[in-house]
Structure 1
């Protein structure tokens, strides 16, 4: 479970444009964003930016200083990421946003009690000047994004360190000024809890991988040692977006093991990725990461990639990720 970084501040709106940041109702905010170089690319930058929007949304809606929150004992409390999902399409996916793109972001947070909060984002690749956004419909959101949109879910928990010099065994801790009851409730059928709970048990987010997919490769493992020059955030915890880099690095190593080229890897389209964070890690930690690749029985150009991250020494589960990837097998030859 990992906290996000400091939210970015959007520029002032131009005449006739929608404001850069609006609180629309007790559970919803809207942003107008121009994609900068620090927000995009074949890495975790855009995912980190969305995480910043989550912190900013919760802070604005719950009157909580998320960046400097304290628990009841006065120790730092962090709005740690526990579950993250981003969904797109072949035409507009995780790697699509690039320099100068205008994005319209509708963000909505839901009450999950004093220790947790769910925030969803509908990210559109087009921005209407001052037009009101379409109402947020949970059923439509969970059916999948419309063309030109990304749908993102962030489930966060408040945590604090048990020991000042350790990132292990983070404990639940909620700031007394976290005013969550003003947030709307989410219909139970859309709760992410059963989804990530099943993934922690089965080590995949795919409900029945053997039914629609055939195994391409399994049993591949690789190791990764925490890089203290890039993987830690400003409070010394492993940055939540770094976990996506851990996953991608392991997937790339498996990709090359299968004889596939780097250009084909860069042209992949990740149209759905889910990640459950089970724990954080100390700066001297080493991970053992396992990768399983399955291809759709009906389409060799669609694959499910499961990644399981464990502590290399204790074998404790650290994270579980599943990617749904579209690619052209002809490109790998």
Structure 2
């Protein structure tokens, strides 16, 4: 079934979607679909041809992902979508300066035509800032993507990318994110503390177990069509690091798949060249009273330069662990 999208006003886009195999399962599959929705939304609301954009010098420029946040709940989260599910996606954009844009998607189950008692969308207007950051809907999933326009400073290198927008890109007509919800402090914490969660939060204690391993960039599966390390591949790598730590802690693959990721954030600080070897590391913090709640921090670095390429934090709700019965 083809997705149905409509530009219901000059500042919002609405889609009715049927979940396909290609967007369910691993997080990078869903992220790839959301990335396409983001580009389509920006193209529609910001009047730019994101698929073949060029800057004033005539060089290709790309709407790169700088930050992504995916938040859900028990009713709807990134691991709960199944092929055939029907969704309503309402999206809008916020002004973030001449080179950047924030796109917000609200994803809800579309109950029209489903059995009685299913969740139903009653208002598919796009999310505003208050809804995003203070009063999210109970049964919705939210995705925020912060994008910069970038161009290569050297033709065949992914190092030293520079900001460069196409001349037709405009955000002057978009709503501005209120100062109370400014994202700069969030980005600063990620760059300096390598986490999106308060490192001094007394409700969580750090685990002594950590993991770190090397990962050569896989040119067969990690790159996008313009030779950059695909933003969705980074999400796959964060789960790869989280899974390695999970297994080191003696937990099963089934329990890893059954965990619920309630909140996932990642900031992309640099890209990687084709021949790069990355270093993936992960650590966990566990809630002091609810042992099923964990914070997982993942860091992706370039092995040779030492540069941090990406920082990610996952808030997870894990399945109960079986306890052995004492001998009687």
Cα deviation for residue 137 of structure 1 reads: 3.3
Cα deviation for residue 219 of structure 1 reads: 4.1
Could you tell me the TM-score, scaled by structure 2's length? 0.92
For the 8 Å contact 2:94–2:175, the answer to whether it is kept is yes
RMSD: 1.8
Cα deviation for residue 63 of structure 1 reads: 1.5
Cα deviation for residue 196 of structure 1 reads: 1.4
SS of residue in 2 equivalent to 1:73: coil
For the 8 Å contact 1:218–1:291, the answer to whether it is kept is no
* Equivalence for 2:263: 272
* Equivalence for 1:211: 202
Cα deviation for residue 275 of structure 1 reads: 0.2
- 1:238 aligned residue (225, 229, 237): 229
* Equivalence for 1:227: 218
Cα deviation for residue 330 of structure 1 reads: 1.4
* Equivalence for 1:7: none
* Equivalence for 1:46: 30
Cα deviation for residue 136 of structure 1 reads: 2.9
Deviations 1:252-304 (A, max 9, x none): 11111111111110101000000000010011111111111010012000000
* Equivalence for 2:66: 82
In structure 2, what is the Cα distance between the partners aligned to 1:304 and 1:331? Answer: 21
Question: Residues 145 and 88 (structure 1 numbering): CA distance in 2 closer, same or farther, change over 3 Å?
Answer: farther
- 1:326 aligned residue (314, 317, 328): 317
Cα deviation for residue 139 of structure 1 reads: 1.5
**Is residue 106 from structure 1 mapped to residue 90 from structure 2 by the alignment?**
yes
Deviations 1:129-176 (A, max 9, x none): 896524633212213642331011100000000111101111000100
SS of residue in 2 equivalent to 1:44: helix
Question: Residues 279 and 141 (structure 1 numbering): CA distance in 2 closer, same or farther, change over 3 Å?
Answer: same
Could you tell me the TM-score, scaled by structure 1's length? 0.91
Deviations 1:225-263 (A, max 9, x none): 111110000111110000001111111111111111111
In structure 1, what is the Cα distance between the partners aligned to 2:307 and 2:319? Answer: 36
> After TM superposition, where is structure 1 displaced by more than 4 Å over at least 4 residues in a row?
127-132
**Is residue 63 from structure 1 mapped to residue 47 from structure 2 by the alignment?**
yes
Question: Residues 279 and 60 (structure 1 numbering): CA distance in 2 closer, same or farther, change over 3 Å?
Answer: same
Cα deviation for residue 316 of structure 1 reads: 0.3
Cα deviation for residue 26 of structure 1 reads: 2.6
How do 1:1-333 residues align onto structure 2 when only pairs under 5 Å count?
11=2, 20-128=4-112, 133-134=124-125, 136-143=127-134, 145-330=136-321
Deviations 1:68-98 (A, max 9, x none): 0001111000000001000001232111111
SS of residue in 2 equivalent to 1:165: coil
Cα deviation for residue 24 of structure 1 reads: 2.3
For the 8 Å contact 1:278–1:318, the answer to whether it is kept is yes
Cα deviation for residue 331 of structure 1 reads: 5.1
In structure 1, what is the Cα distance between the partners aligned to 2:235 and 2:184? Answer: 20
- Which segments of 5 or more consecutive residues in structure 1 lack a partner in the other structure? 1-9, 13-19
Cα deviation for residue 11 of structure 1 reads: 2.0
For the 8 Å contact 1:83–1:154, the answer to whether it is kept is yes
In structure 1, what is the Cα distance between the partners aligned to 2:37 and 2:304? Answer: 35
Deviations 1:50-73 (A, max 9, x none): 111010000001111000000111
